Structure 1
Amino acid sequence: MTKVLLASSLILSSFSGLGADLTVEEQRIEKATQAMPQVMAAFKGDIKAFEKKWKKANSYQQAKDLVLDYSSQLWRDAKKRITTANNFDDRELYWARLLSSKVMRSSTPKFAISDTERSALLALLENGSRGRTDLEYTQGTTKKILLTGFDPFLLDKNINQSNPSGVAALLLDGQVISYEGIDAEINTVMIPVRYEDFDKGMIEELLAPYYALNNVDMVVTVSMGRTDFDLERFPGKRRSVTAPDNANIVYGGTQTAPKISSLNGRPLPGNEFVEFSLPVAYMQKAQGPYKINDNHEVTTLEQTFSPGSLSALKSAIAVNGGGGGYLSNEISYRSIRLRNELNSSIPTGHIHTPRIAQFEPETEEKIVKQIKAMLEQSLPAL
């Protein structure tokens, strides 16, 4: 343990005295290193090697090539590590990404890098290490599934928090599943828990090509939720929680005054509620320790209830959708709204997983196995 803590401290020491403005997420690194040194040291060799190459980069193109290669490798290595170590731990990738972005923000390559160039390179790091540049279906399967998971969140409450949806994204990416003679390849992306990314259209940018071309067979967004699995039938349009995102931004919506989010500087368009199109009856056949609920419950300004159909919500103002009033609900709303706008036929919807306390690898293993079973059971309906 002492050796691991020392190794993590050495990573931190290389940033001391540089005085650069760090993000809120990067500022948590020191606390995280004290709380879970083994997690923070998981990619220490890769990060140190990247730092050396970053500082030696002689041009923007050289730095770009470096970040493209490194970020993609970070994603691949994180998937390999979680599989071979069998540790069901998504936190290593999350913190390795932040340690890497801290290198880029706190140190300077040999060429005169501009703020615009640095921001562009940081975006490349984000995309590559989240699986955005690895979205290729190469297995020739009958069906294709796109699945998203989330980073750990509420880290000021529990710095060592894990997220089962992130574990699922790492473990299921590139897998081929089969059921009743039908096979499907799964591709996954890791989504940040940041309001700004959503407001800038990250979800729409990610999903629009698939909906426009109808070239996958199911889009499933996943996040950590309640006691059992909830398939969220009626996502709502508005934000209504006082919980901060990972950048410590509180959007300002409340249960009595929910707020509409943005899309590229304008209010997010669309109806107050939308309805998912997942094959519920098939997915509920998946065996596992948790119930799989077809959750209809929503909250409007008038009441909390479980409508039988979308038409029952026609004149309502959304407070909580099926997925609540936070980004779990919003990724579902945005994906379904976009699907409908682009007249896509791709089944789309959200899975809320059982909640864990900080890090529970045995529980997360059960959760991921049951998600995989849900996807398998859905194949005949696609």
Structure 2
Amino acid sequence: MLKPSLALFIAMSFIPCANAITLLGDVEGARLQQAEKTIGDVVTRYQALDEGLTQLSAKRNEVDATQLAARQGQRLWQQAVRDVQSGHIDDRSLYWARLAMLTRLNTSSAQFNMADWQQAVLMSAVEKASRGFSDIHYADDVQIKIFLTGFDPFFLDKDIGQSNPSGLVALALDGFRFEVNGKRAQVETAMIPVRFDDFDQGLIESLLSPIYRDPNTRLVFTVSMGRTDFDLERFPGRNRSASAPDNQNVLTGASKTLPLAPKLNGQALKGPEFVEFSLPVSAMQLKGSHWNIHDNHTVTTLARGEFKPNALSELQHETSVEGSGGGYLSNEISYRAILLQQKFHSSAKVGHIHTPKVQGHDAELEHAIIEHVRTMVMQAAASL
């Protein structure tokens, strides 16, 4: 259970999502009604947890109210983890339950008069806790700490029932423990929103800074849904260029002829045009895999277009259009994770895994993807 002081810290220290939660009445919240009609059982699976927020009316002060919000968000995350790990291969209920919980919170009141900023704090507490941010706990005997992120479902206007196998990977591997070369390893995970604004406000940096401060962090994987096979994205680029919207239907204004740097706390993100991952590639390219596992070097620059550099030095004077991971948030989370690792001088091996693409929701296929990533993670740990 979260202590009151910890709940308040969680809400305030990750305030980036408080802005993004101008949410409800917004695009993400507005999809709830359609989702209830189309995939009702998925949307209402965790309805009892949502209803737990009715207790807010009895709270007399901000600390108690924030404690309740954080606790309900954490319960939602933990229930989704239990579900997936017990064989219910579906990440979508977590996403829709979070939106339902935020909707209820947005219309709830407590016994004290809440200012707008206090309401934002409560919503931030739900957001962060339901994404696993307050549930990152390694056992004391762990010698190899591994951190992994997945993403929410996205492109929901194309298919309201879309799943995201990277989110399932995060739920399936949260807390996963194993032994390798006589050492105890543990994976902890978190779920990332598909919203440009959260990235611009430093969500990734806030999440990963304490991870990199821990010298026992040995591996950091960012995971997203990608192409036909698995891709390990060698050269992430700094700039955005995708014309695709995020889950708020926000566009960046960037394009392949006009790439734009993302922001960090109000200013353009500073860093080289390209960085290189440090993943143990050969260990992660599983033999006999159903899918190919590519060491993807492909990038696009303004001057040269699309090509495959062999070394980072070939990109030194180029302007990034697309990194190996593309020009969207999949590429960007990898770039930010690697850049931050370098700033902390962390010895962790860091990089991005693109999983095969899934149409809608396919439990059997996504279970196979989960097990592939699990094996890749274990093989990476064995190579350290």
TM-score by length of 2: 0.91
The answer for the alignment partner of 2:231 in structure 1 is 230
Q: 1:311 aligns with which of 304, 313, 317?
A: 313
The match for 1:360 is 362
The one of 9, 34, 39 aligned to 1:36:
39
Contact 1:158/1:358 (8 A) holds in 2: yes
Q: Matched residue of 1:293: which SS?
A: strand
CA drift of 1:286 comes to 5.7
What letter is aligned with 2:193? P
Tell me the C-alpha RMSD between the 2 structures. Answer: 1.4
What is the CA distance between 1:142 and its match in structure 2?
2.8
Identify the match of residue 335 of structure 2 among 333, 336, 347. Answer: 333
Q: How does 1:30-179 map to 2 (within 5 A)?
A: 30-50=33-53, 52-84=54-86, 86-138=87-139, 140-179=141-180
CA deviations over 1:342-370 (Å, ceiling 9, x no partner): 22221000000000001111110000000
Equivalent residue number for residue 276 of structure 1: 277
Which residue identity lines up with residue 62 of structure 2 in the other structure? Y
Q: Secondary structure at the match of 2:134?
A: helix
Deviations 1:164-215 (A, max 9, x none): 0000000100011334444310000000000010000011111112223433
Checking the alignment, whether the CA contact within 8 Å between 1:286 and 1:377 is kept in structure 2 is no
Q: Retained in 2: the 8 A contact 1:286–1:374?
A: no
Question: SS at the partner of 1:260?
Answer: coil
The alignment partner of 2:217 has SS state of: coil
CA distance in 2, matches of 1:288, 1:124: 40
* Alpha-carbon separation, structure 2, partners of 1:286 and 1:332: 25
1:48 Cα deviation from its structure 2 partner: 1.8
**Match for residue 347 of structure 1?**
349
Q: Distance in 2 between matches of 1:24 and 1:54?
A: 25
CA deviations 1:106-127 (Å, max 9, x no partner) are 2322321110001011111111
Equivalent pair of 2:286/2:376 in contact (CA under 8 Å)? yes
Q: What is the CA-CA distance between 1:139 and the residue it aligns to?
A: 5.6
Structure-2 separation of matches of 1:55 and 1:43: 21
C-alpha separation in 1, matches of 2:216 and 2:206: 15
Give distance in 2, aligned partners of 1:214 and 1:286: 31
CA distance in 1, matches of 2:41, 2:241: 36
- 2:211 alignment partner in structure 1: 210
Deviation at 1:41, TM superposition (A): 1.3
Letter in 2 for 1:276: F
Separation in 2 of the partners of 1:345 and 1:107? Answer: 46
**Residue 47 and residue 342 in structure 1: after superposition, are their counterparts in 2 closer, same or farther (change >3 A)?**
same
Query: Which residues of structure 2 form unaligned runs of 5+?
Result: 1-22
For structure 1, list consecutive stretches of 5 or more residues without a partner in the other structure.
1-19
The answer (yes or no) to whether the contact 2:231–2:354 under 8 Å persists in 1 is: yes
Specify whether residues 287 and 118 from structure 1 end up closer, same or farther in structure 2 by C-alpha distance, changes over 3 A only.
farther
Question: Matched residues, percent identical?
Answer: 44
Q: Secondary structure at the match of 1:334?
A: helix
Whole-Å separation in 2 of the counterparts to 1:83 and 1:161: 20
